[in-house]
Amino acid sequence: MTTATQPRRPGSMNSTLIRDLQPHELPDIEMPACEVRPVLKGQKALVTGAGSGIGRGIAVALCAAGADVMVNYVGDEAAAGATVEEATHCGCTNRGRAIIHRADVSDEAQVTDMFRRIKDEFGTIDILVNNAGLQQDAPIEEMTLAQWSKVISVNLTGQFLCAREAIREFKRRGVRKDVSCAAGKIICISSVHEVIPWAGHVNYAASKGGVMLLMKSIAQEVAPWRIRVNSICPGAIRTPINRPAWETPAAYAELMKLIPYKRIGEVEDIARLAVWLASDEADYVTGASLFVDGGMTLYPGFEAGG
């Protein structure tokens, strides 16, 4: 006597079958539709590395929420200009204005000049988003000192230099209670790789691990001056830089093995959190690494019981 195999039903899944689920067995992906509110009206922001990807998304969202935004870039002026165009033509009634500024965040003199200009243009700065970063990947035995140094200088030293200049202005100016109950906000863009090791990318992972303790140490030091410092740690986000990981159905399916929530992240997922962290709604949040990763840091290899 034979027994017919019963179709699997998502509501009755055994944990040992989770990794074998097919897209048709899961709920359709529904993207959030969130109201844009002017929670940053009157504030002045700098977003580094804002010519594309996550940086562009954050700059657009801050501007839509009412902030005036300086869009920093280092290479592609046209891309930075496109960010400004998108940010200032978002259709939001309370949107701020935006300008571009070229600076290499790993160069102390260029960072100093950038902060001088934002004060000349906007009068002050309330929000710093330390987003600029890059990868130069290689196996450890083949990685050059130049590759190591370049990634550390941009991803880590750049965040230090920009944070230092912002804090100097926050302390000089103090709290403007009509604008925000904090003297200033710093948002460090880190990565899930501040906690997940990444073979073949030791310079990048080391830089993001460094960002974690840079952020927490600064947050601890400057909190009494009502300066809040936090990190956003993205997982897999759909941006041009990681196109090979999501562009084809086969690549996307492989990526989903690392993401329990079973969808790729979008820049808007990061941008919405950045706006919230910069607003007074997050006033009691400081020193936090907030992971936006669809569960990538939940050890997905153990989803079937090990």
Q: Which of 204, 261, 284, 299 is catalytic?
A: 204
Helices (H), the chain: 53-64, 77-88, 108-122, 145-152, 158-173, 202-222, 249-256, 267-278
Rounded to 5 degrees, what are φ and ψ at 216? -65, -40
Structure token pair of residue 289: 């690494």
Residues 6+ apart with CB under 8 A from 163: 128, 130, 186, 188, 214, 218, 229
- Known catalytic residue at 204: yes
Residue 100, helix vs strand vs coil: strand
| Residues 227/182, Cβ–Cβ less than 8 Å | yes
Alpha carbon distances (Å) from 280 to 32, 38, 291: 22, 12, 20
Task: State the amino acid at position 224 in one-letter form.
Answer: P
Complete DSSP assignment for 228-261: EEEEEEE-SB--GGGGGGTSSHHHHHHHHTT-TT
Lookup result for tokens 């160069």: 107
Is residue 107 exposed (0-12), middle (13-18) or buried (19+ Cβ within 10 Å)?
A: middle
Instruction: Report d(CA 264, CA 255) in Å as an integer.
Output: 8
Active-site positions read: 204
